[in-house]
Chain A
Amino acid sequence: AQRVTQPEKLLSVFKGAPVELKCNYSYSGSPELFWYVQYSRQRLQLLLRHISRESIKGFTADLNKGETSFHLKKPFAQEEDSAMYYCALSLYSGAGSYQLTFGKGTKLSVIP
């Protein structure tokens, strides 16, 4: 069963426009959600997690349990935001261990 859904494979926006990358999840427990980012020729890295409720590089994400969503938003896109973005859900897999299940990713392209 797909746990994390990112409906858009590719999202193109103009520089300065608002950005919203969608993520929906399926989980009956208390979810722990993350956004990871992969810039061109760089390794995947954590962007933000819902429990910290912080803004990183101007991005924020709010967990909406009613809509089972964790959308990533930024009010004004910059060219350096162009990257692949993955939403991830942490699942308890027993014996004190957790697994991260990733969505299929959304490629964000910011047009100058």
Chain B
Amino acid sequence: NAGVTQTPKFRVLKTGQSMTLLCAQDMNHEYMYWYRQDPGMGLRLIHYSVGEGTTAKGEVPDGYNVSRLKKQNFLLGLESAAPSQTSVYFCASSRGTGELFFGEGSRLTVL
């Protein structure tokens, strides 16, 4: 079992460029999440999904969009990247309990 897989693992963007982070899970989990991790800020929830075709805003949703067209995939998009979006992004999935299964993270740098 791969668990939760994120691609790409590293990416460098210029301000204004767009990109999509892909998260895939093979555990048949209903719930999926995108967090960002910044030094001194901990983990902050960007968006989440409670099932295929659903998405909801988390704590810091501005500048991001998400889609959950298939149960196993949760995409995070940046339409116009800004330096403030330089961060490590983590995807996670769960059955709806507090036990989240995390991906390895995607390090994004916006110049």
A43–B104 CB distance below 8 A: yes
Give the chain A neighbours of B96 by CB distance below 8 A: 96-98
Docked Cα-Cα span, A111 to B2, in Å, equals 34
Binds A, one of B18-26, B43-51, B69-77: B43-51
- Measured CB to CB, the nearest residue on chain B to A93 is B56
Contact between A9 and B40 (Cβ–Cβ < 8 Å)?
A: yes
Partner pick for A86 among B31, B40, B42, B50, CB 8 A cutoff: B42
> In the assembled complex, how far is the CB of residue B56 from the closest CB belonging to chain A, in whole angstroms?
7
Q: Tell whether A11 is near chain B: CB-to-CB under 8 Å.
A: no
CB–CB B45/A99 < 8 A: yes
Do A99 and B48 touch across chains, with their CB atoms under 8 A apart?
A: yes
Q: Number of B interface residues at 8 Å Cβ cutoff, please give it.
A: 26
A32 touches B98 (CB 8 A): yes
With A43-B105, A95-B50, A99-B58 already in contact, the answer to whether A49 and B99 are too (CB < 8 A) is yes
Q: Which residues of A contact B31 (CB under 8 A)?
A: 97-98
Question: Residues of A contacting B50 with CB < 8 Å?
Answer: 95-97
Nearest-CB distance from A84 to chain B (Å)? 9
B98/A103 in contact, CB under 8 A: no
| Other-chain contact of B98, A9, A34, A95 (Cβ < 8 Å) | A34
Please give me the 4 A-B residue pairs with the lowest Cβ-Cβ distance, nearest first: A104-B42, A102-B43, A90-B98, A97-B50
Question: A residues near B, CB below 8 A?
Answer: 6, 9, 32, 34, 36, 43-46, 49, 86, 88, 90, 93, 95-105
24 contacts between A and B (CB under 8 A): A32-B98, A34-B98, A34-B99, A43-B90, A43-B102, A43-B103, A43-B104, A44-B100, A45-B102, A49-B98, A49-B99, A86-B43, A95-B50, A96-B50, A96-B96, A97-B96, A98-B31, A98-B96, A98-B98, A100-B45, A100-B100, A102-B42, A104-B40, A105-B43
